[in-house]
């Protein structure tokens, strides 16, 4: 059974579980525990304990650790891609593309010394200067979807932690193995205990995480109905929230389109990644005789 990562330690969870399947064979390859508010509270508490020290760690030291993490991701690139295919089911080539897009965000996070710069403007008014500084918030929570088990977690926690926040990640209970491997590599890179924590579970765990008073901000990617629920719950508890939901994406084909290019592009948009993309083409609209 998978374990939660709390304060740098992998902990067993005495809860009911759900099976994790290899969708190509139907084989059960792992069991994921359905954590509740107690386990969520332990993970948040660990992140809160780590925050004061981590937020005061010089940005160059945070970036050095992020470069180590990036190097480990590159070293384990094929392993991560195979893991995505194993428990999600997308083709290996699509899985490689997912892992590469995730690593690109880690590349971006390595630019923190520039990204986190403030701003000084002298004499904005007579005798008045303006200074802008960026400060970390505290504990940040991330709730990624099932369809990109490596890429979307890498959209979330590298940016948050390099900015000085600590993080609690609740991966999809359907595809949790990618997040677990990322957390293992994160620890191997040398990040302090409690900077990244991982708690498995379903709706109960997600809502406990969003409502927890120590969590200052929430990042979510998933379906539109759940995004609306996450946004409303986070707003109710006074959190900063980014809730990205799915959409209807219309592809418009104009009369002068080169169909030899347009048709394969439409097919890839609609059916690539088994159609499991929030930006997948949903409707193709032909204009005129095309």
**What are the residue numbers of the active site?**
278
SS3 assignment, position 117: coil
In the block, tokens 């089911």 appear at 89
Is 212 in contact with 199 (CB distance < 8 Å)?
A: no
Q: How many residues does the chain have?
A: 290
Is 142 in contact with 167 (CB distance < 8 Å)?
A: yes
Is 98 in contact with 78 (CB distance < 8 Å)?
A: no
Residues facing 132 on adjacent strands = 119
Pair of tokens at residue 103: 């690593």
Is 97 in contact with 85 (CB distance < 8 Å)?
A: no
Residues facing 192 on adjacent strands = none
- Crossing angle, helix 203-211 and helix 37-55, to 10 degrees? 40
The contacts of residue 272 (CB under 8 Å, 6+ apart) are 94, 280
Q: Within a 10 A sphere around the Cβ of 125, how many other Cβ atoms? A: 7
DSSP readout, 164-204?
A: T-EEEE---SSS-HHHHHHHHHHHHTTPPTTSEEE---SHH
d(CA 171, CA 200): 6
């Amino acid at each position: 059974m998978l374990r939660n990562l709390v304060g740098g330690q992998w902990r067993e969870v005495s809860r009911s579980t759900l099976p994790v399947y290899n969708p190509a064979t139907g084989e059960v390859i792992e069991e994921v525990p359905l954590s509740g508010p107690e386990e969520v509270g332990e993970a948040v508490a660990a992140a809160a304990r780590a925050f004061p020290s981590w937020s005061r760690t010089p940005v160059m030291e945070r970036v050095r650790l992020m470069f180590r993490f990036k190097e480990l991701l590159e070293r384990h690139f094929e392993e991560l891609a195979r893991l995505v295919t194993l428990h999600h089911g997308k083709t290996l080539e699509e899985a490689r593309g997912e892992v590469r897009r995730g690593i690109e965000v880690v590349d971006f996070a390595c630019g923190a010394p520039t990204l986190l710069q403030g701003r000084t403007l002298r004499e904005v008014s007579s005798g008045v200067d303006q200074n802008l500084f960026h400060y970390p918030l505290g504990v940040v929570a991330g709730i990624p979807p099932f369809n990109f088990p490596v890429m979307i977690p890498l959209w979330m926690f590298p940016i948050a932690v390099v900015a000085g926040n600590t993080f609690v990640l609740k991966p999809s209970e359907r595809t949790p193995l990618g997040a677990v491997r990322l957390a293992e590599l994160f620890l191997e890179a040398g990040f302090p205990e409690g900077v990244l924590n991982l708690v498995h579970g379903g709706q109960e765990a997600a809502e406990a995480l969003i409502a927890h008073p120590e969590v200052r901000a929430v990042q979510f990617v998933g379906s539109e109905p759940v995004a609306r629920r996450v946004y409303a719950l986070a707003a109710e508890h006074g959190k900063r929230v980014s809730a990205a939901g799915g959409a209807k994406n219309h592809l418009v084909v104009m009369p002068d389109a080169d169909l030899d290019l347009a048709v394969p592009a439409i097919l890839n948009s609609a059916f690539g990644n088994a159609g499991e993309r929030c930006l997948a083409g949903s409707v193709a609209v032909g204009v005129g005789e095309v």
